[in-house]
Amino acid sequence: EGGDSTEEKDTLVMATNAEFPPYEYYEGQDIVGIDVDIANAIADELGMELKIEDMAFDSIIAAVTSGKADFGAAGMTVDPDREKEVNFTDTYAEATQVIIVNEDSTIAGPDDLVGKKIGVQLGTTGDMYVSDIEDATVERYNKGFEAVQALTQDKIDAVVIDGEPAKKFVESAEGTKILDEAYTQEEYAIVVAKDNEELLEQINGAIADLKESGKLDEIVAKYITS
């Protein structure tokens, strides 16, 4: 690395879980989405080559703390427990957790989840919130869409998941709907190892530039039509 004459760029490794449209998902063999575009823009600014490692969502923080990846970008919500293990960059998106139910469900809001069977993606903030609901049974899936499929098969009563992927999942799961009342508000940021202050600052600089130049809005508009 560095110092040799073939101008090979250093690589910046991103850990993600590409089961989360429109932030990261497969289009054929390629992983695409808002986080991928943001990460590519960051890598460009740093003059580095982006390499994406797809893994289980609940392995991302360990990949970053162990140095297997330089950063994690996965629609990851800023959360105080995670902050004990990794640093969060400045936020780049606002998000919600929403409830998906079958169209004929009697569940109308968060209060109706008491005693119900609720599906989540393993290790997500949805998983954390739902685990506190009284008498609820939590079914944890490796992929968010698997939870929605279980819902359509009446194996569970509801799914708690991030609002934007929820829209995509409901589009391809007939007979399901998103409740109007959101469950929580949250914010997404990138995670970096605690001992990598330099990269944290570099990414924060790049995020600030993306916000200021309007490029961030452009990226979002490419994937989310409101």
List residues near ligand ARG by CB under 6 A: 16-17, 19-20, 24, 57, 74-77, 121, 124-125, 162
DSSP state string for 96-152: EEEEEEETT-S--SGGGGTT-EEEEETTSHHHHHHTTSTTPEEEEESSHHHHHHHHH
Shortest Å distance, C-beta 208 to ligand ARG: 22
State the minimum distance, in angstroms, from the CB of residue 60 to ligand ARG. 8
Tell me 214's DSSP state.
Answer: T
Residue closer to ligand ARG by CB (options 57, 203) is 57
Question: Are β-strands 184-193 and 71-72 bridged in parallel, bridged antiparallel, or unpaired?
Answer: antiparallel
CB closer to ligand ARG out of 90 and 209: 90
For ligand ARG, which is the closer residue by CB, 136 or 189?
189
Q: Is 51 helix (H, G, I), strand (E, B) or coil?
A: strand
Tell the smallest beta-carbon distance from residue 171 to ligand ARG (Å). 17
Which residue type is seen at 160?
A: V
- Toward ligand ARG, which CB reaches closer, 96 or 209? 96
Least distance between ligand ARG and beta carbon 122 (Å) = 9
Beta strands 11-16; 86-102: pairing state: unpaired
CA distances for 127 relative to 123, 134, 142, angstroms: 6, 14, 11
Question: Which residue, 19 or 70, is less far from ligand ARG as judged by CB?
Answer: 19
- Please state the closest distance from residue 2 (CB atom) to ligand ARG, in A: 32
